[in-house]
A and B are shown apart, each in its own frame.
Chain A
Amino acid sequence: MGQPAIEEAHLTSLTAATAARSSASSEHSLVVEDLRVHYDTPEGVIKAVDGVSLALKPGERLALVGESGSGKSTLAMALMRLTKAPGRIVAGHIYLGGKDITLLEEPEMRQLRLNEIALVPQGAMNSLNPVMRVKHQIIDGILDHVADRKQTPDSHELEERVNRLLARVGLSPEVGRMFPHELSGGMKQRVAMAIAISLSPRVIVADEPTSALDVVVQRQIMQTLGRLQQGLDAAVILIGHDMGLVAQFANRVGVMYAGKLVELGPVQQIFTEPLHPYTKLLIESLPNLEEKKKFIGIPGLPPTLLRLPSGCVFHPRCPSFIKGTCETVAPHYQEVRPERETSCHLYAGVRA
């Protein structure tokens, strides 16, 4: 009898902590606190996500940008609790509607996926089952999440739901009877979106949802995603490296570098008045259609995550490098102005 009591006590304290947390952030759909995801490799530990904190309100669109290797996709997978070995979440909390999903057992997490948090994957061509008709792939997710077996919808009702979902992503009911290979890239991505919204999640994670598509289709897909998100009042995290898409879609932008969030702020301000030197270089390097500019890249190379530079990880590439400070002390990530957060010694004395 003693053993369960201890477990129960432990659980109660956890629940209490979670409840306290959720009251503090009840207006948020998703809160990430000091999340750390590491990969154990023979050469050493790679800190792919190294202490990221952020919060999303319902209806908000946050874009996470960064070069390859910055940890943005690892973060996306961690939010879904789909981190695969050798990767693991080593520390931090992810509160989804007040519940810390880092503490959940897999069966419970499985119920939350699609219901509460859904993924629109990168390259929908590889995420659909090639030997299964589209409608069965949509039905699969719905049936898997029926809480009470007695309330399993009948086939007529399911057919209706599939047709309604297809209509919402701009596809005709005939598509339901087709196989993935009969669809174009854009149509497959729409099917992936239909699956993602099938149970009205409160958070949608879109991992480079249009990376292999043509510009016209890309615009249509992103506009459809925007409409769906507004209809559900869901929060969206868009993972990407295309600053154009980010400018078109997001309300807020988070910039990642070497596993850390280095800047976060409203989209307009990030593009017109970036604070962190890395964000500045990133914005300057974008080609535009207004005038022919000099080609300006970011000097140097992204760091190897196995051997990170001392102090600020960006200091070897930074044009505003402060000698004696940047190479020795890692800057704090802090709010430097209302709604603006960054980690840079240039703003060390500035507090909101």
Chain B
Amino acid sequence: MTALLELRNVSKLFGGGFFSGRPPLHALDGITFSIPEDRPTITAIAGESGSGKTTLARILLGIATPSAGQVLYRGKDVARISGAERKRFRLEVQPIFQDPFESYNPFYKVDHVLTTPARNFKIGKSKAERRSRIEEALHAVGLQPEETLGRFPHQLSGGQRQRVMVARALLLRPRILLADEPVSMVDASLRATILDSVYTLNRTHGISVIYITHDLTTAYQVSDNIIVLYRGSVAEAGSVEQVIKQPKHPYTQLLVQSIPRPDPRKLWGDVPARGDAEALGEAVGCKFADRCPFVMDACRSAVPPLHHIDPHRVASCFLYRDSKVVAEQDIAGVFAPRADAARTGPVRA
């Protein structure tokens, strides 16, 4: 398996200079995974605030550089590539950000975010061809070009603005789409439509998606595999069917039990949990030990490695110390192939 995008033991430290008098904060701590080249995948990266998911997104886009480790694109270090290769990386890895308003310059019409990259990346040979490609992309995400083009960002709804961003990504035909909380600022009724366009990009246009979110429910609906981060480290990773439906790491269990299910018959129980992640300092050993209901002595002295506990799952927890350790290996190796089971529609009353 060749990797399109690969992270090798990537860490990112913030602060902790000689004069700061504080230890540095490990925003990311030795992350290794890859996106394969031969098949389009959808991978979710989930975690609470402070888990490092946004830092990871910035590193994947080449906006931030890792403090240690490497990011390789088509086998080349992203921090070192230049010229044509850098341009190719910029074209092939496209972002969608959380706030669909901040991505626009309010003084330009929305056309600007579509025509500028189309011109810069030489999409189509003529202006007319570029125009038809843009219209095609807008149609693909369920927008009417005549109702979208020629308008200013404030004249579109939040959902429409975010769908224009998805259309922009589609227009450039990237290999990887990195969506950082694309629906968290959009109304519930429009979320489904945006997630559906992202899903369609993967299934019909062969674009790999990295879906960064705090919302495990949409992560389950959209993605094939998931990486759950806790304070910069991988807590649990594998197929969504395993990690979200039968979580094994105590942290993932806590997250899943805390999801407010939209069903009054499935109420929250009294889940034991101490504190919140932000309030705790740097710890020796397992970072989750202070909040873990199953904490053991071993957890306080050493960092648990990733144990390969199921065919399509790894978890960093001493509860599973009898399972084989996957040391320094690409966790994408345990990922499940994408499941194309027919999605059932809702039953209308």
Contacts and interface: CB of A to CB of B under 8 A. Distances in A.
Contacts of B254: 216
Nearest to B51: A214
A244 B49 CA distance: 20
Interface of B: 48-49, 157-160, 187-193, 195-196, 199, 214, 216-218, 220-221, 244-245, 254-256, 258-265, 267-268, 270-271, 273, 276-279, 341, 343-346, 348-349
B273 A220 contact: yes
A282 B192 CA distance: 11
B221 A295 contact: yes
Nearest to B267: A248
A248 B276 contact: no
B265 A268 contact: yes
Contacts of B343: 292-294
A285 B191 contact: yes
Contacts of A242: 188, 260
Given A241-B188, A293-B343, A297-B192, A215 B273 contact: no
Contact of A243 (B262, B267, B341, B346): B262
Interface in A289-308: 289, 291-298, 301-302
A216 B279 contact: no
A214 B48 contact: yes
A8 interface: no
B336 to A, nearest CB: 13
A215 B258 contact: yes
Nearest to A215: B258
A217 interface: yes
A247 interface: yes
A163 to B, nearest CB: 20
A216 B230 CA distance: 13
A271 B263 contact: yes
Given A220-B273, A284-B346, A289-B261, 8 more contacts: A215-B255, A244-B217, A247-B260, A268-B265, A271-B262, A285-B191, A297-B189, A297-B196
Contact of A282 (B188, B259, B264, B345): B188
Interface of A: 67-68, 184-187, 214-220, 222-223, 241-248, 267-268, 271, 273, 280-289, 291-298, 301-302
B273 A216 contact: yes
B263 A296 contact: no
A188 to B, nearest CB: 11
The winner among B196, B258, B265 for most chain A CB atoms within 10 A is B258
Contacts of B258: 215-216, 218-219
Contact of B278 (A184, A215, A283, A284): A184
Nearest to B50: A214
Contacts of B278: 184-186
A214 B214 contact: yes
A218 B260 contact: yes
12 contacts: A185-B278, A186-B276, A214-B214, A248-B267, A268-B264, A283-B262, A289-B244, A289-B256, A292-B341, A295-B195, A295-B196, A297-B191
Given A280-B349, A289-B245, A295 B193 contact: yes
Nearest to B277: A214
A229 to B, nearest CB: 16
A294 B346 contact: yes
A244 B279 CA distance: 26
Contacts of A271: 262-264
Nearest to A273: B349
A37 to B, nearest CB: 21
A180 to B, nearest CB: 14
B264 A267 contact: yes
